[in-house]
Amino acid sequence: MSPRRGQVGRWLAWSETDRWQMAINSSTNAKFASCLISIFSFPFATVMATAPVQLRGICDFRCWLVSLSLLGCLFSKEALFCGRPTATRSLRSLRAASAVVSFDLDDTLWPQVEVIEEANQQIASLHATLSAEEVQGTMRRLRQEPPWEKVSYCNLRCAAYAELLDDTALAEEVLQQWISARNHAGAKLLYPDVMPCLEGLASSGAIVGAITNGAGNPRDIPALANFFHFSVSAQEETMFPHRKPSPVIFQEALERARSSGWTGESWWHVGDDLATDVAAAARVGLRTVHIDRPNRAQNRFSLSSEEALAARQAGADSEPDLTVSCLRGLAQKILQS
């Protein structure tokens, strides 16, 4: 893709040493390049000083060609643009920078049931009265009571902790411990195809985000934080009760993506649920990938009624643009389509 004047700069004029030095300074090979340029500049300058006038034009032209060939081996094309923020991104990554790829988290990047089990065990090991069974039973009972019918999952869990501990302040601390343990378990139990997928997307230059109904946040997980530009969770106080498949949570994701530099072009959403990921994303104009992982465990931690689950699944009224069983090679499949 050719640069447009005023947008990404212009090609260096080889006679302009200040712009030449700018390109060198922007390269990761700056020292090596400077040494080579100095080596080649000396014989070129000698030739130009001693050659007859008739030959100087030819020498000048040949010097220019040799210099161009030399620097072409050292720099990517972006390094030769004045004012580029980086010198190492490929032209393909510049095209992909206008693309967003958002992920669901639970059962997309990690197995939800195993992650929650491990977080629950961590809390039980720290607080004897908070066994997984006691907490889950208390949450189910509270969900049936009017004050707790329409609160977020995290607030309901906190209420269960408060009742079992008889200490509201301690319950809030335990909730943060549980969220941290959940994120830690997510990092530990990542599906093996996740990191190669994220690395491929990072090298392509795509903006990567997360849209989840759960409490996980990849930006709080050291192994994942550098790959994710934004994350939106239905557990956020400013977001609840707008859970997927509500368009509101997707609209918030759009705003956060724009803040990360998205220009409003391509967007793919990847998730395991045909209703809350595929159909919901399609309704707001996103292209969709259904990740259909084999042997997925039934979510026994869900507090939704059978009626609510049936109503949600009835919303699975769109076919995905792409169906995969793992995420390996996803960047090539969607960003080149």
Q: 203-241: per-residue pLDDT in tens?
A: 999 999 999 999 999 999 999 999 999 999 999 999 999
Domain end marker among 184, 218, 237: 184
**Is 104 within a domain?**
yes
Residue 200 and residue 266 in one domain: yes
Residue 105 and residue 118 in one domain: no
Predicted local distance difference test score (pLDDT) of residue 73 = 40
**Is 12 within a domain?**
no
**Is 140 within a domain?**
yes
Backbone angles phi, psi at 269, to 5 degrees: -115, 135
Q: Of 31-40, 76-85, 185-194, 199-208, where does mean pLDDT reach its minimum?
A: 76-85
**Is 3 within a domain?**
no
Residue 321 and residue 245 in one domain: yes
Residue 294 and residue 217 in one domain: yes
Tally of domains within the chain? 3
Structure confidence at residue 21 as a pLDDT band (50, 70, 90): very low
Structure confidence at residue 243 as a pLDDT band (50, 70, 90): very high
d(CA 275, CA 112): 17
Predicted local distance difference test score (pLDDT) of residue 309 = 67
Q: Do you find a cis peptide bond into 320, omega within 30 degrees of 0?
A: no
**Is 55 within a domain?**
yes
Residue 239 and residue 268 in one domain: yes
Structure confidence at residue 23 as a pLDDT band (50, 70, 90): very low
Q: Is the pLDDT of residue 94 over 90?
A: no
| Mean pLDDT for the stretch of residues 294-305 | 77
Q: Is the pLDDT of residue 166 over 60?
A: yes
Q: In DSSP terms, which residues pair with 208 in a beta bridge?
A: 101
Domain end marker among 134, 153, 184: 184
Q: Is the pLDDT of residue 142 over 80?
A: yes
Helix H, strand E, coil C: the string for 11-66 is: ECCCCCHHHHHHHHHCCCCHHHHHHHHHHHHHHHHHHHHHCCHHHHHHHHHHHHHH
> What is the chain's mean pLDDT, rounded?
78
Q: Of 59-68, 176-185, 323-332, where does mean pLDDT reach its minimum?
A: 59-68
Residue 316 and residue 219 in one domain: yes
Q: Is the pLDDT of residue 44 over 90?
A: no
Q: Of 47-61, 202-216, 301-315, where does mean pLDDT reach its minimum?
A: 47-61
Residue 313 and residue 171 in one domain: no
Residue 233 and residue 105 in one domain: yes
**Is 322 within a domain?**
yes
The CATH number of whichever domain residue 235 belongs to comes to 3.40.50.1000
Give the sign of the dihedral formed by CA 115, CA 119, CA 120, CA 125.
Answer: positive
**Is 5 within a domain?**
no
Q: Is the pLDDT of residue 86 over 60?
A: no
Predicted local distance difference test score (pLDDT) of residue 50 = 47
Residue 100 and residue 220 in one domain: yes
- Cβ(190)–Cβ(207) below 8 Å: no
| Mean pLDDT for the stretch of residues 31-46 | 42
Residue 253 and residue 284 in one domain: yes
d(CA 226, CA 77): 26
Residue 233 and residue 316 in one domain: yes
Which residue range is the domain that position 33 belongs to? Answer: 17-88
**Is 265 within a domain?**
yes
Predicted local distance difference test score (pLDDT) of residue 305 = 66
Residue 219 and residue 122 in one domain: no
Torsion of CA 62, 67, 68, 71, to 10 degrees: 160
Q: Which has more confidence, 265 or 213? A: 213
pTM above 0.85, yes or no: no
Q: Of 40-49, 252-261, 279-288, where does mean pLDDT reach its minimum?
A: 40-49
| Mean pLDDT for the stretch of residues 332-336 | 85
Q: Is the pLDDT of residue 336 over 60?
A: yes
Q: Which has more confidence, 111 or 73? A: 111
Predicted local distance difference test score (pLDDT) of residue 310 = 72
Q: Is the pLDDT of residue 47 over 80?
A: no
Predicted local distance difference test score (pLDDT) of residue 7 = 29
Structure confidence at residue 330 as a pLDDT band (50, 70, 90): very high
Question: How many C-beta neighbours within 10 Å does residue 265 have?
Answer: 10
Judge residue 283's burial from the number of C-beta atoms within 10 Å of its C-beta, 0-12 exposed, 13-18 middle, 19 or more buried. middle
Predicted local distance difference test score (pLDDT) of residue 31 = 43
| Mean pLDDT for the stretch of residues 138-166 | 94
